[in-house]
C-alpha cells in the first residue's frame, strides 16, 4: 500500500514466527485481548494463539484477556481456551473505579508479565497469527521501534475498504487539523498494536475509545514520530457497529483530540450526547496516569 507521508511501513509477510523467536531472546511477550461480551469469537482467537504461537512456535509467553464487565460467557470461554483472565473491575481497586476500552488496556499493561505487549481486539472473525507476528516483527528486528500500529483492509458487505466510518469521518479530519504529523498513520483507530513496556509505561491512557488516538499523540510527542512503525496485517473482518454505537466513540475521539491539543472547548472534559429517540449519554474525558508514575511495587509485585 502506498501511503503519502507515511514512514516505517512494514508488511506481515516480511516476518516469520520462527525467525522472530531467535530475535526475541529473553524478552517476555504478552498478547492481551480487551473484551466485553465476545464469547462468540474470543475462544477461537485464544486457541489459535495458544496452538500456533505458544505450542508450535514459542513466540508468545502469555495470553491475557481483560474482561471489562461482560454479561455473557467471555471469561469462561477464554479461560477454557488457555487464556489468563482478569477483570477490569477487580484490578487496582485502590486507584478508583473505571471502565472503557482504555481502562482495560491500562490495567492489562499493569498486570501483564511481558516486556512487549501486543493488543488485539477480540471480535475479529478471520484472526490469524499474522496479527501477532506482524506487530512483533518491527519491534524484534529494529530496536529503535517502540510502538507498532497495525492497519488492514476492512471489507464491508464483501466490498474492500481502507478504514472504518469513525476513522474517515472523525479521526482523519481531526488529525489533519490538529496533528498533521500523524497524517501518515493509515488507521489511527485500529485496535491492533504493540509496544515495549518501557514506552507504554511512560504515557497516559485515556479511559474511553479515545485511547487509540491518545496513545499515538502521546507516544509521538514523548518519543518522536520515528519511534512509531506501521504494519500491514492483511484483511480484518469483524462485526460492524450501528451508528448509535459509533456516535459515543466519535465524541470520545473528539474529546481526546481537543484535550491533547490543549483546546479549552465546551465539552472537552464533560459532554452530554443527545440523540433522537435515545437517552442522553454523559461522557467524561478521563485519563489514567503513566504507570511509571505509580509507586514501585504497587502492581508489579502483585501481578508480575
Tell me the pLDDT tens digit for each residue of 63-75.
999 999 999 999 9
Convert the pLDDT of each residue in 62-121 to its tens digit: 999 999 999 999 999 999 999 999 999 999 988 888 889 999 999 999 999 999 999 999
Asked whether the predicted pLDDT for residue 233 surpasses 50, the reply is yes
C-alpha cell at 215: 496513545
Domain residue spans in the chain?
9-240
Mean pLDDT value of segment 5-31: 92
CATH for the 9-240 domain, from 3.40.50.620, 3.50.50.100, 3.40.50.300, 3.90.550.10 = 3.90.550.10
Convert the pLDDT of each residue in 26-75 to its tens digit: 999 999 999 999 999 999 999 999 999 999 999 999 999 999 999 999 99
Q: Give the pLDDT confidence score for residue 242 in this predicted structure.
A: 72
**Using CA atoms in the order 160, 162, 166, 171, what is the torsion angle rounded to 10 degrees?**
-170
- Grouping H, G, I as helix, E, B as strand and the rest as coil, residue 210 is coil
Asked whether the predicted pLDDT for residue 166 surpasses 90, the reply is no
* C-beta of residue 74 within 8 angstroms of C-beta of residue 36: yes
C-alpha cell at 304: 508480575
pLDDT band at 301 (very low <50, low <70, confident <90, very high): very low
pLDDT band at 227 (very low <50, low <70, confident <90, very high): very high
Q: Give the pLDDT confidence score for residue 244 in this predicted structure.
A: 75
Mean pLDDT of the chain: 91
Amino acid at each position: 500500500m502506498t501511503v503519502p507521508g507515511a514512514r516505517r511501513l512494514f508488511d506481515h509477510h516480511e516476518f516469520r514466527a520462527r525467525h522472530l523467536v531467535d530475535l526475541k531472546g529473553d524478552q517476555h511477550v504478552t498478547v492481551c485481548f480487551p473484551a466485553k461480551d465476545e464469547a462468540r469469537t474470543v475462544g477461537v482467537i485464544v486457541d489459535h494463539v495458544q496452538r500456533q504461537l505458544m505450542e508450535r512456535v514459542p513466540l508468545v509467553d502469555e495470553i491475557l484477556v481483560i474482561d471489562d464487565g461482560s454479561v455473557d460467557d467471555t471469561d469462561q470461554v477464554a479461560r477454557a481456551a488457555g487464556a489468563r483472565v482478569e477483570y477490569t473491575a477487580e484490578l487496582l481497586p485502590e486507584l478508583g473505579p473505571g471502565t472503557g476500552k482504555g481502562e482495560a488496556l491500562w490495567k492489562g499493561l499493569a498486570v501483564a508479565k511481558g516486556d512487549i505487549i501486543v493488543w488485539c481486539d477480540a471480535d475479529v472473525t478471520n484472526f490469524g497469527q499474522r496479527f501477532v507476528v506482524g506487530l512483533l516483527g518491527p519491534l524484534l528486528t529494529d530496536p529503535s521501534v517502540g510502538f507498532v500500529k497495525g492497519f488492514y483492509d476492512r471489507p464491508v458487505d464483501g466490498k474492500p475498504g481502507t478504514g472504518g466510518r469513525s476513522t474517515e469521518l472523525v479521526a482523519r479530519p481531526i488529525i489533519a487539523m490538529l496533528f498533521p504529523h500523524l497524517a501518515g498513520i493509515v488507521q489511527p483507530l485500529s485496535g491492533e498494536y504493540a509496544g515495549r513496556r518501557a514506552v507504554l509505561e511512560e504515557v497516559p491512557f485515556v479511559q474511553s475509545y479515545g485511547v487509540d488516538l491518545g496513545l499515538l499523540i502521546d507516544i509521538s510527542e514523548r518519543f518522536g514520530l520515528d519511534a512509531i512503525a506501521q504494519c500491514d496485517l492483511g484483511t480484518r473482518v469483524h462485526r460492524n457497529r450501528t451508528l448509535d454505537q459509533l456516535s459515543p466513540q466519535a465524541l470520545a475521539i473528539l474529546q481526546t483530540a481537543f484535550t491533547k491539543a490543549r483546546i479549552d472547548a465546551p465539552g472537552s472534559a464533560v459532554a452530554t450526547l443527545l440523540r433522537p429517540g435515545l437517552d442522553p449519554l454523559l461522557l467524561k474525558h478521563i485519563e489514567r496516569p503513566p504507570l511509571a508514575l505509580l509507586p514501585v511495587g504497587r502492581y508489579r509485585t502483585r501481578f508480575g
